[in-house]
Structure 1
Amino acid sequence: MEKVQEEIDIHVRNKRCINEFDINKLVYLQVVVKETLRLYPPSSLSGIREFREDCFLGGYHVSKGTRLLTNLWKIQTDPSIWEDPLEFKLERFLTTHKEVDVKGNHFEYIPFGSGRRICPEISFGIRTTHLTLTSFLQCFELSKASSEPIDMTAVNIKVTPLKVLIKPRLSSLLYKAM
């Protein structure tokens, strides 16, 4: 978070509100979003596909009419592809997986699916995520309410609620302009 805020401060200088044209300059922010989508894809399973004809897939016979659900989370945490797959490591998208993007061309990383059935709202989702996160981190300083580690258990309702303290980072004049 601090590194993203530092990057925002360098490029926007806290003299104005961030806008979508600033996002391309914020490389660290982009890798934060990529790594987050790798570990927590919008949906852990792809949409249902149905085979239109008999075929062999990975040495197995698949009959026409078989329905397939792809486990995106499992693919994106495959230890044969990702070093320390369950760890949040931003460096991987700055080094070994630098060229990997969300557009469905790299099958080890498909948070929005791929091919003809890729999520039609991928561009809107990514832009909205980048702009919302950047705006929030530009405007506010966040800190934990306690020194306890954050429980990242992925469930609908958190077992341990996340409590944070929020403090403004900008001049009060910029908040009025929003």
Structure 2
Amino acid sequence: MKKTGKELDAIVGEWVEEHKQRRARVDAKGEPDFIDAMLSVLDGADLGGFDADTVNKATILADRVVSESDISKLVYLQAIVKETLRLYRAAPLSAPREFTEDCTIGGYHVWKGTRLITNLWKIQTYPRIWPDPFEFKPERFLTTHKDVDVKGLHFELIPFGSGRRACPGLAFGLQMVQLTLASFVHAFEISNPSSAPIDMTESSGLTNIKATPLQVLIKPRLPSQLYG
């Protein structure tokens, strides 16, 4: 992963450096380069506040990150991913655990060898910790819960589990989701084909699946030569 990250950084770095050199030349004319195309959608964008809808905010920030070549600067997009993992974890229950010694929890004696399956959905929608727990509010991770992460250190949000048996794909999964989402909202306009709210009802079972398949309309936002 580190090797791949360095290679990707080198590629994007070359694009940005070529763009800077081209812009520095007084006689630079002709067709816009790749970075020009990426930045063209920023014209007139308003980055102040969080008044626009979630998709629009994510799109603006995804556009900006192209010029900065740093996925970590997509703070609002990261907040969207966190809120999605809070409300719609891949599975509502954790993997089974087994107590290795007798202990007392909340006044209850638990015997060694007892199996434990944690209800992560209940924890991540607990109203004392999460105001309006069933509302999709990414902004909470930029304000009241800005220090809460999903890497297993904050027990109120553990979609990947915690401790030695946490999901081994945590780091890779987060990077891929953020990169894919940023690329998607940057490249396409996304809209609802109907005026009805999107049905987010979940199916029953050990995995979290939408009961109603998602239907959206997508429209290219960039010049056609950039899609290939």
Distance of 2:113 and 2:95 partners within structure 1: 15
Instruction: Give yes or no for the alignment of 1:162 onto 2:214.
Output: yes
- SS class of match (1:166): strand
Shift of 1:175: 1.1
Structure 2 unaligned regions, length at least 5: 1-54
Equivalence map 1:36-51=2 (5 Å):
36-51=84-99
- 2:224 corresponds in structure 1 to 172
Equivalence map 1:50-69=2 (5 Å):
50-69=98-117
- 1:125 corresponds in structure 2 to 173
Kept in 1, the 8 Å contact 2:76–2:139? The answer is: no
- SS class of match (1:56): strand
Instruction: Give yes or no for the alignment of 1:139 onto 2:192.
Output: no
Shift of 1:153: 0.1
Distance of 2:76 and 2:165 partners within structure 1: 29
| Largest Rg, 1 or 2 | 2
- SS class of match (2:200): coil
- Structure ranking higher on relative contact order (CA contacts 8 Å, 6+ apart): 1
Which of 153, 156, 170 is matched with 2:201 structurally? 153
| RMSD of aligned alpha carbons | 1.7
Q: 2:128 is matched by which residue type in structure 1?
A: S
The alignment of Structure 1 onto Structure 2 pairs a total of residues equal to: 170
Q: 1:9 is matched by which residue type in structure 2?
A: D
Deviations 1:15-52 (A, max 9, x none): xxx9xx53111111000001000101122111111112
Deviations 1:82-111 (A, max 9, x none): 111111111210011101111111111111
Equivalence map 1:70-81=2 (5 Å):
70-81=118-129
Kept in 2, the 8 Å contact 1:42–1:112? The answer is: no
- SS class of match (1:73): helix
Q: 1:115 is matched by which residue type in structure 2?
A: G
- 1:81–1:158 Cα change, 3 Å: closer
Deviations 1:102-149 (A, max 9, x none): 111111111101111111110011011011111111111111111011
